[in-house]
Structure 1
């Protein structure tokens, strides 16, 4: 079939409308394009027909909708911006505050998403908020609040933004449980997932890593199986990859970040793609610096093309400068030193709140001085001396590390023994009851007490040894929801559900190894199964993570100790 045939089918109604004396209704015109994807300009002939009809009839409500459609289906960002101005004009003419709010919100979204111009975006969002104050459309109200919070987050007001994202999450999630039209349910799910993603970003930037990981677990669990939210899932995977990097699981981080990238690139979201490239570069920097450079330069390419960068990716340039300095490539070192000064100037302008808090290897004055030194070529002797000092320091560190490694097992064993003895002596104290008034929770005291009692019984029955136990299963057993249980565990235990469960299992098996001689003769597979961990390797890794010593080394030391006693 000819490639032009589908297009002919799509445009055929236009010829029909042109030759038909009966003018089509707005709904009939929109039926021809409303199912097309965003930025599909095949819709524009119909959109223009829709706009023409609304202008002729001076129907400003439908004219506003027509310009909204023109914004949605136009590819070019400047065309979108032009149509958004027309949309605002038509909305103001309609005197409908909801339409006016939507129009200002739409223009703000274009500034934010297509241009990454945060200050004008926030100006438009504030106007949208003013017009939505008295609206009865709660979805519109929280959509405005969400987009204001997104810009606040980018500008560095993470605490204020996180409060608003929490409000949006609560509203959107409540709407997904109502008997609404499919499209409304879809939009509320998307609102919930996007607000949750942005909240995770805020908590990470506030260095509340345990809370961020806990929320991420909830997001990945709730989005599982919902294929229509593939972009939103990619944002969660991006956060998962960053979390893996922060835990120094570089191989897993690279795998997860690469999974997240295609859909984000497809959406032309260059802000988050630059963050992904930065963390991929940082992962490879640990093992293959030459390979890491390619990812760092991708971030630079995005900056050159869009004159945009997030503070989170600033360190990208420090690593490029360091790379070229180590390669003694003075031209590129100078080039990217200048580029870092440009980046800092931009961040200082667009991120006033953040710029004073960014940790820099070079502050502005030292960067300027370094640039002059490089340009005058006067620092070779200093660099050479620094190189030999650094080389000497490396040899010293390697020697100390080798010496320390030989004693690590003995030190960690002794420390673990001491911890176990202390735990045995304090068994009379109930570790479940936590009345620390400083721990804050969004849950009521009644809900908190009820869940804490159930957790205590759960621990006493050793139910945590059940393999494959999930947050969802435990929440169901406790007659609560996953969000409440996850937040309670995080607030009371200071860890995510995953780490809470792993901690119980490792403490349980460690106590058995310490007190029960028969347990020492079990295989790694049997020990893993006994405490509810699926694989031998995962058991060994978790034992080491919690106890600082491998289970094999601990068992050997324990047997050796018992042999000496006998």
Structure 2
């Protein structure tokens, strides 16, 4: 209210000296005697040491910087004060926008090394943390246009922020080169004896994180370990908890569950102290995944519930946590707890809607708003370097651009193919439930190729399996196996089935190959997929189940195995097929 009144009364003065009228984030604060005579550089260094380690202290130092700038009437220090306050507010999941907006207004007509580009950078970071990716992109685009050619540090930092946005759209392979460029730039500074410890370690963290997204968990662990060593070397612990978290997550995917759990538990305290609830929610999700993988279901559910509570309390919805809701829904479904089952179904629907809104058309926006101006900026840089005979950069730039466009088009084409095949599959009439003949079982699905008798005869081995004394008995058992839908049982293998059929593994394998024209694994997958294709078509209730639940119902150990088998046999994905049926 005070700010609004002053804005109306002192409009002319405000325009000339905007930075005089913004309040610090902690009212009534005064610089302590111990810092009154200290330089700006001293207080800034103190701020950097506690940033992401003790964010309450960091906010105090940021306010001291702002007060010092006002006292000395130094615009540059005032700008840094507002910037630092907004950064800390961002990490504490508090509203940093008033300080970012004040900074943008104050630096609007300034043309120095950092500003006004840096003002729009922090505004973009705040939007990104809230999941407002398109607005973040708009701010980064403005920052690119304000970036001074000689300020390479800022240029590579914006590069990194755009890579973070690409990560949000799951364009991990496209984000990786941008993170590598940022790391190489910071590493070159280290080699030249001009290290910026904070940015150098941050670039290592970014690489460790993107390698996790690219599922290269060994590389991710390697860079996380490097970052932890460098934190101790440079006595800079801003990213220490986050590097530990990346290592713990990578070890989970590398199946080292005890080490992963121990590390992530260690990280929890640091995130709570920093009030970093976004990452705390992700942490609880992974602790739940570890307990689930260790078959400790009740403990897993408690962690998934904590992750959900944080999401709704602090409005932080991350795609990575999605299947945590599927576990919760399935858990309460098995318990017959309809109230909680409905609760988490609604929570999942809401979470999906928020994520969808935030990410809608973002990939196209990045291509249009970021890649184009960035390529133009790099083009100018390349032309300047032509005088030094480095023309190879042009070819590399063109190659990356073409590769990026190719990947986008390929993905769009793949989605259209999935949708088309799903439509064809959904429009096929239901198969009549009549007894199946022994040689026709594999022809249920409309997209599966069924070999003719003559084709199988050509491929049949020279030995005549029908002479085996158990031939007819096994054929009858196979027919019964199909009619009774025993193929839906979990963990069926050639070994287990041969024991059930009272025969040896090799003979059963050869029999399936000759009679069905395919190996046992293909035969089993086709039976299951053919079954669920028809079941989804005729049973609306099953369509409402999660992919993980459907996979479990028909004998698969996880949703990924089911999805891969479904795609290989039908040419589309289960989700697209279910959508087509609706």
Task: Report the alpha carbon displacement of residue 230 of structure 1 after superposing the two structures with TM.
Answer: 4.3
Which residue of the partner structure matches residue 272 of structure 1?
Answer: 279
Q: Quick check: 1:92–1:100 contact (8 Å CA) kept in 2?
A: yes
Q: Deviations over 1:97-156 (max 9, x none)?
A: 63111111122223334x343332222222112212x43122111111111211221122
Task: Report the alpha carbon displacement of residue 293 of structure 1 after superposing the two structures with TM.
Answer: 0.8
Q: Quick check: 1:172–1:191 contact (8 Å CA) kept in 2?
A: no
Between stretches 119-128 and 251-260, larger displacement belongs to: 251-260
Distance 1:48 1:249, change over 3 A: closer
Which residue of the partner structure matches residue 203 of structure 1?
Answer: 214
- Tell me whether 1:193 sits opposite 2:204 in the alignment: yes
| Structure 2 residue corresponding to 1:258, chosen from 238, 253, 265 | 265
Q: Quick check: 1:193–1:232 contact (8 Å CA) kept in 2?
A: no
Q: Deviations over 1:502-545 (max 9, x none)?
A: xxxxxxxxxxxxxxxxxxxxxxxxxxxxxxxxxxxxxxxxxxxx
Distance (Å, rounded) in 1 between the aligned partners of 2:343 and 2:84? 44
Task: Report the alpha carbon displacement of residue 393 of structure 1 after superposing the two structures with TM.
Answer: 6.7
Distance (Å, rounded) in 2 between the aligned partners of 1:321 and 1:45? 46
Which residue of the partner structure matches residue 232 of structure 1?
Answer: 239
| Structure 1 residue corresponding to 2:115, chosen from 99, 108, 112 | 99
Task: Report the alpha carbon displacement of residue 62 of structure 1 after superposing the two structures with TM.
Answer: 3.9
Distance (Å, rounded) in 2 between the aligned partners of 1:32 and 1:238? 29
Q: Quick check: 2:268–2:280 contact (8 Å CA) kept in 1?
A: yes
Which residue of the partner structure matches residue 335 of structure 1?
Answer: 343
- Tell me whether 1:244 sits opposite 2:265 in the alignment: no
Distance 1:294 1:144, change over 3 A: same
Q: Deviations over 1:412-451 (max 9, x none)?
A: 9xxxxxxxxxxxxxxxxxxxxxxxxxxxxxxxxxxxxxxx
Distance 1:274 1:62, change over 3 A: closer
Which residue of the partner structure matches residue 167 of structure 1?
Answer: 181
Distance (Å, rounded) in 2 between the aligned partners of 1:240 and 1:97? 36
Q: Quick check: 2:288–2:300 contact (8 Å CA) kept in 1?
A: yes
Backbone CA RMSD of aligned residues: 4.1
Give the structure, 1 or 2, with the largest relative contact order (CA under 8 Å, sep 6 or more): 2
The 3-state SS of whatever aligns with 1:93 is: coil
Q: Quick check: 2:63–2:85 contact (8 Å CA) kept in 1?
A: no
Q: Quick check: 1:197–1:235 contact (8 Å CA) kept in 2?
A: no
Task: Report the alpha carbon displacement of residue 399 of structure 1 after superposing the two structures with TM.
Answer: 7.8
Distance 1:79 1:309, change over 3 A: closer
Q: Deviations over 1:184-229 (max 9, x none)?
A: 431342232133123213312xxxx3xx423432441463363235
Which residue of the partner structure matches residue 49 of structure 1?
Answer: 67
Which residue of the partner structure matches residue 144 of structure 2?
Answer: 129
Task: Report the alpha carbon displacement of residue 352 of structure 1 after superposing the two structures with TM.
Answer: 2.9
Matched ranges for 1:276-315 at <5 A? 276-286=283-293, 287-315=295-323
Distance 1:253 1:332, change over 3 A: same
Task: Report the alpha carbon displacement of residue 9 of structure 1 after superposing the two structures with TM.
Answer: 11
Which residue of the partner structure matches residue 527 of structure 1?
Answer: none
Task: Report the alpha carbon displacement of residue 61 of structure 1 after superposing the two structures with TM.
Answer: 3.3
The 3-state SS of whatever aligns with 1:179 is: coil
How many residue pairs align between the two structures?
350
Distance (Å, rounded) in 2 between the aligned partners of 1:226 and 1:45? 26
| Structure 2 residue corresponding to 1:111, chosen from 115, 127, 130 | 127
Task: Report the alpha carbon displacement of residue 250 of structure 1 after superposing the two structures with TM.
Answer: 2.9
Q: Quick check: 2:261–2:287 contact (8 Å CA) kept in 1?
A: yes
Distance (Å, rounded) in 2 between the aligned partners of 1:177 and 1:411? 61
Distance (Å, rounded) in 2 between the aligned partners of 1:233 and 1:405? 54
The 3-state SS of whatever aligns with 2:107 is: helix
Q: Quick check: 1:159–1:202 contact (8 Å CA) kept in 2?
A: no
The 3-state SS of whatever aligns with 2:196 is: helix
Q: Which runs of 5+ in 2 are unaligned?
A: 1-27, 364-410, 416-484, 507-582
Distance (Å, rounded) in 2 between the aligned partners of 1:411 and 1:123? 63
TM-score of the pair, normalised by structure 2? 0.52
| Structure 2 residue corresponding to 1:11, chosen from 28, 32, 39 | 32
Distance (Å, rounded) in 1 between the aligned partners of 2:314 and 2:184? 35
